Amino acid sequence: MATTKKGSIILPVQTLNLGAIPNKPKPKKIFFQFDVKVARNGNKTFSLVAYPAYRIDGKWKIGKKILLPVKKGKQHELQLPLTLGNLELKYSKIERWIRPGIRKITLTPHKYEANPHTEYIVSDGLNALNLTAKPSPPAPPEA
């Protein structure tokens, strides 16, 4: 959530309520961006917000911002250097991997080592779904 010892940053584990995503039309992707807030004492908190993305008439339309709750007591310390870039995840991949009845996914911060960016491991709260919200760029955007 805030910077800690020199050379690292703490990022929270967060959840996305899938019911908060309007699905008419059905979203193609979910884009994630970092939201940085500064407290009165100068400490900074970093968290993710989500935006559903729709492909309508061959053009991308971005939906309203969705706030992602932080899982209390769940955070990961990542070593610097680290870039906090835009992330994306195909919505169809979530649908393919998620178990019936699950309405939330958990996003756990991780360091994308190939080019030091953040990425998030996606799970249903119990099992990793073989999905990651990857940085774009440097990862090529998924079509």
Per residue in 86-123, pLDDT tens? 888 889 888 888 777 788 999 999 888 877 888 888 88
Task: Specify if 85 maps to a domain.
Answer: yes
Mean pLDDT of 53-71: 92
Which residue bears the tokens 């690292």?
8
Task: Specify if 140 maps to a domain.
Answer: no
Mean pLDDT of 40-53: 88
Q: What one-letter code names the amino acid at 55?
A: R
Task: Specify if 61 maps to a domain.
Answer: yes
In 3D space, the residue among 47, 38, 51, 60 whose CA is nearest the CA of residue 120 turns out to be 47
Domain with 82, as residue range(s), is: 8-135
Q: What is the pLDDT of residue 112?
A: 82
Q: What percent of the chain has pLDDT over 70?
A: 87
- Into how many domains does the chain fold? 1
Task: Specify if 3 maps to a domain.
Answer: no
Task: Specify if 101 maps to a domain.
Answer: yes
Contacts of 17 (CB under 8 A, 6+ apart): 66, 69, 103, 104
Give the confidence band of 143 by pLDDT, cuts at 50, 70, 90: very low
Whether residue 1 is predicted with pLDDT greater than 60 in this model: the reply is no
Greater pLDDT, 138 or 35: 35
pTM: 0.82
Q: What is the pLDDT of residue 3?
A: 45
Mean pLDDT of 123-134: 73
Q: How far apart are CA 80 and CA 97, in angstroms?
A: 32
Per residue in 12-43, pLDDT tens? 999 999 989 887 888 999 999 999 888 788 88
